[in-house]
Amino acid sequence: MSKAHTLTITGIERHTLSILVDNEAGVLARVIGLFSSRGYNIDSLTVAEVTHDRGISRITIVTSGTPAVIEQIKAQLERLVPVHSVADLTVQGPHVEREMALVKVAGAGDKRVEALRLADIYRARVVDATTSSFVFEVTGSSEKVDTFIDLMRELGLIEVVRTGIVAIARGASGL
């Protein structure tokens, strides 16, 4: 369920970038610092090592800006020494974006039953339960996660933690 994240509100576009970096000390600080020092937006950021043997991490950044700013962001990222490659998934074609959230809801009676029913509809799994609370694990597009969290608000939402977006291109080829 991919979609072109190309909002054209006053020319501002939303792009999802995949960045392969050497997993060395300070690399994340370099990337994040580049965004803050040059005034670029970070809407979402995730990072984890993906090839242990070669020590490479993959950073997924969702950012927004005018087309010129997006081009600058990519060029500036490529300039960082530990960066192997920068891919703009939004430009490259169809891709899948997923996010996971853990959602804690407390309540009793009807509200508790309703929370469980909605969780079922949203394919959220119960990963912790007490007599007065649940923790749900919900995965999907950011919009789906947003909606689920909104629904839980009326039903005793206590807290939320989200991973941020991970994304991958559709089809057979890789970065």
CA distance 164 to 7: 19
Closer to other proteins by CB, 78 or 150: give it: 78
- Answer yes or no whether residue 17 interacts with other proteins by CB under 8 A: no
Q: x/- string (CB under 8 A) for other proteins, residues 102-131?
A: ------------------------------
- Answer yes or no whether residue 84 interacts with other proteins by CB under 8 A: yes
Contacting residue, 75, 108, 127, 161, with other proteins by CB under 8 A: 75
| Minimum gap (Å) between residue 24 Cβ and other proteins | 9
Phi, psi at 66, each rounded to 5°: -70, 160
Contacting residue, 12, 22, 139, 157, with other proteins by CB under 8 A: 22
Q: Are 97 and 166 in contact (CB under 8 A)?
A: yes
CA distance 101 to 139: 7
Task: Supply 66's token pair.
Answer: 């005018």
Contacting residue, 83, 135, 151, 167, with other proteins by CB under 8 A: 83
Spell out the SS3 assignment of 2-64. Answer: CCCCCCCECCEEEEEEEEEEECCCCHHHHHHHHHHHCCCCCCEEEEEEEECCCCEEEEEEEEE
- Answer yes or no whether residue 25 interacts with other proteins by CB under 8 A: yes
Closer to other proteins by CB, 68 or 172: give it: 68
Candidate segments 68-76, 89-97, 136-144, 152-160, binder of other proteins by CB under 8 A: 68-76
The burial class, CB within 10 Å (0-12 / 13-18 / 19+), for 63 is buried
- Answer yes or no whether residue 165 interacts with other proteins by CB under 8 A: no
Q: What residues line the site for other proteins (CB under 8 A)? A: 22, 25-26, 29-30, 33-34, 37, 68, 71-72, 75-76, 78-79, 81-84
